[in-house]
Structure 1
């Protein structure tokens, strides 16, 4: 019997900040814009849609939160076709937080789903690294904007 698993992006990162600070950095666009998207229409919560923009790329998406448990978990859908993103916040020793992102539900055949999961893993790894730099050191690294600079052919 062959078992087929759904391709899933699962990056994670230890961030040396309290869980409440890390959680707030994801739900509050005033903080999130320091390391990820360029504009957010509002805070993430369980009752409304928000709009996120990456103005350097002319790209945007609508985010729909289906579940939010403060300092524990955020479940949302985004993109077109939509995928599910689950943010998992784990309190760790020494006033630190392990933040994991699981993104799944990619459309297409098996190869297309794997390609989506691989791309998402890379993207969310940059988001987590940027969040770590901002939250721990106050540094804005520009990782997302530098990922696809003008003049570099898409590959």
Structure 2
């Protein structure tokens, strides 16, 4: 059986350190991806993330932390493994690559597609935030769309 992997990548005109910090610092990650987090990401940390989709809460267990190049974590409810790698493309440009593994069940293909779409939106919103200083609210708008489809 072939392992399904969700992948997304984005070049961001920002330093690798600033891009990395956007994922680990609560006051920054809540500007583009989350509603709240119980703490910063750090080696071995276990935190809880509340996403912008109402009711979407997930535990996060950090499994890899190499500032400013790599963050790995497991989502505790789903068991999905998330791997975020950052590499310097130019002095002022970072490439962020995300891979998600561990999809299972009859809807594993749909889960993979949804994770690819979700991380693509997250990375686009992060790009706009770090390059302009303001989020594009792409994640917030997608969350509203998901909430609306659930209510229908």
The two structures share one fold, judged by TM-score above 0.5 = yes
Aligned residue pairs, count: 150
1:152 shift after superposition: 3.5
The normalised TM-score by structure 2 is 0.91
Indicate which of 107, 115, 120 corresponds to 1:120: 115
Check whether the contact 2:26–2:36 (CA below 8 A) recurs between aligned residues: yes
Check whether the contact 1:81–1:107 (CA below 8 A) recurs between aligned residues: no
Which portions of structure 1, spanning 4 or more consecutive aligned residues, are displaced by more than 6 angstroms?
Answer: none
- After TM superposition, list the pairs within 5 Å mapping 1:1-155 onto structure 2: 4-54=1-51, 56-109=53-106, 112-149=107-144, 152-154=148-150
Distance in 1, Cα, partners of 2:98 & 2:37:
19
What's the RMSD between the two structures over aligned residues?
A: 1.8
Distance in 2, Cα, partners of 1:34 & 1:146:
13
Q: For residues 38 and 101 of structure 1, do their structure 2 counterparts lie closer, same or farther at Cα, with a shift above 3 Å needed?
A: same
1:47 shift after superposition: 2.3
Check whether the contact 1:14–1:98 (CA below 8 A) recurs between aligned residues: yes
Distance in 1, Cα, partners of 2:119 & 2:110:
14
Distance in 2, Cα, partners of 1:48 & 1:148:
26
SS across alignment from 2:11: strand
SS across alignment from 2:19: helix
SS across alignment from 1:11: strand
Q: Which runs of 5+ in 1 are unaligned?
A: none
Q: Which runs of 5+ in 2 are unaligned?
A: none
Larger CA Rg, structure 1 vs 2 = 1
Q: Which moved further from structure 2: 48-57 or 32-41?
A: 48-57
The normalised TM-score by structure 1 is 0.89
1:113 shift after superposition: 1.5
